[in-house]
């Protein structure tokens, strides 16, 4: 079982409009709702790849009930969310059909009490003995300590379970110091962590700060990986146009699934890039176009560079 942690779960709502214009009224052509938050998106993709997945984090209020109802209909995903008093947040994505651009509005999330945080930590520790890997994903809701991910990384490592961390800012900085097996920042998050805007230098610096391996998202250009075994770049054959929301979460699912399958790094990166690109071709975060994914698996380019420091 793979365990995904989403401390700031969400109900993802996607609106499609013909053309998004500031200061104007818009007629929405389509509305979709999905249980969301980065770790939930990761879980949905992992389940679609055939892995058993358990989702944990927080859920509360009427929105939280909708999230759990929708999650119950996702094959292969087990709901282990911890109830809280506050209401689960919503995220709004507005897709401009004319340009293909997406505008994202993210609510901050509910305030978590100290007692609720303690209850989550107990639930997390109880789930670890049956986990083959853990993904810690997304932002922290108000009330959760900024060093929360660092503690969760240490707990997983003490249990001998590989852990992937995908967050940003101060939670990432503190989490890296706890020595996660893998982090997956984008270039902006990596620059904020290391102070370097050179991705090659920044990935190496992130490893020196404690990350076992670093896979940096380069957007449409693919991924850059710095690992104990070496350094690679992986790129799709061409730029795909569509909704990029959730593409990074699909890359995390690809990396995590390949990790538990003990695939070599080039194969891990190939899967991650193919899934990420196939998600851009899908209409909703947490889903991917399987036809595009299978087609891209044989077309992703992975090149080896000098050994990582």
241-262 average pLDDT score: 87
Average confidence score pLDDT of the chain: 91
pLDDT for 160-172, tens place per residue?
999 999 999 999 9
Q: Structure tokens of 272?
A: 């991650």
Of 166, 181, 249, 289, catalytic: 249
Residues ≥6 apart with Cβ < 8 Å to 83:
58, 59, 60, 64
Distance, CA of 305 to CA of 232 (rounded, Å): 6
Asked if the model's pLDDT at residue 243 lies above 80, the reply is no
**Confidence label for 44 from pLDDT (cuts 50, 70 and 90):** very high
Distance, CA of 104 to CA of 15 (rounded, Å): 10
Higher pLDDT, residue 306 or 69: 69
E strands, 162-278, in order? 163-166, 182-183, 213-217, 223-227, 230-235
Look up tokens 């709702």; give the residue: 33
pLDDT for 163-209, tens place per residue?
999 999 999 999 999 999 999 999 999 999 999 999 999 999 999 99
Asked if the model's pLDDT at residue 260 lies above 80, the reply is yes
Share of the chain above pLDDT 90, in %: 71
Is 249 one of the catalytic residues? yes
Look up tokens 């998106």; give the residue: 41
Residue 2's pLDDT is 97
pLDDT for 50-81, tens place per residue?
999 999 999 999 999 999 999 999 999 999 99
Residue 246's pLDDT is 78
Q: Give rounded-to-5 percent helix, strand, coil for the chain.
A: 40, 25, 35
């Amino acid at each position: 079982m793979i365990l995904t942690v989403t401390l700031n779960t969400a109900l993802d709502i996607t609106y499609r409009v013909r053309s998004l214009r500031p200061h104007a009224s818009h007629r929405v052509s389509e509305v979709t709702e999905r249980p969301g938050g980065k770790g939930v998106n990761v879980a949905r993709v992992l389940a679609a790849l055939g892995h058993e997945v358990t989702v944990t984090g927080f859920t509360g209020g009427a929105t939280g009930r909708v999230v759990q109802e929708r999650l119950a209909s996702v094959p292969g995903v087990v709901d282990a969310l911890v109830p809280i008093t506050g209401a689960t947040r919503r995220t709004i994505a507005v897709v401009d059909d004319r340009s293909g651009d997406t505008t994202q509005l993210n609510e901050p999330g509910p305030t978590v009490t100290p007692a609720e945080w303690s209850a989550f930590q107990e639930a997390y520790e109880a789930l670890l003995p049956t986990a083959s890997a853990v993904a810690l994903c997304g932002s922290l809701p108000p009330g959760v300590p900024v060093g929360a991910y660092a503690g969760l990384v240490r707990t997983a490592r003490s249990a001998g379970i590989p852990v992937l961390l995908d967050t940003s800012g101060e939670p990432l900085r503190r989490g890296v110091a706890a020595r996660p097996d893998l982090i997956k920042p984008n270039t902006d998050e990596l620059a904020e962590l290391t102070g370097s805007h050179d991705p090659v230098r920044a990935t190496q610096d992130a490893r020196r700060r404690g990350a076992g391996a670093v896979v940096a998202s380069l957007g449409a250009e693919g991924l850059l990986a710095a690992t104990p075994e070496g350094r690679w770049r992986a790129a799709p054959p061409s730029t795909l146009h569509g909704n990029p929301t959730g593409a990074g979460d699909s890359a995390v699912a690809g990396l995590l699934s390949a990790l538990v399958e003990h695939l070599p790094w080039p194969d891990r990166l190939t899967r991650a890039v193919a899934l990420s690109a196939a998600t851009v071709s899908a209409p909703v975060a947490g889903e991917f176009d399987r036809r595009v994914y299978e087609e891209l698996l044989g077309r992703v380019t992975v090149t080896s560079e000098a050994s990582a420091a």
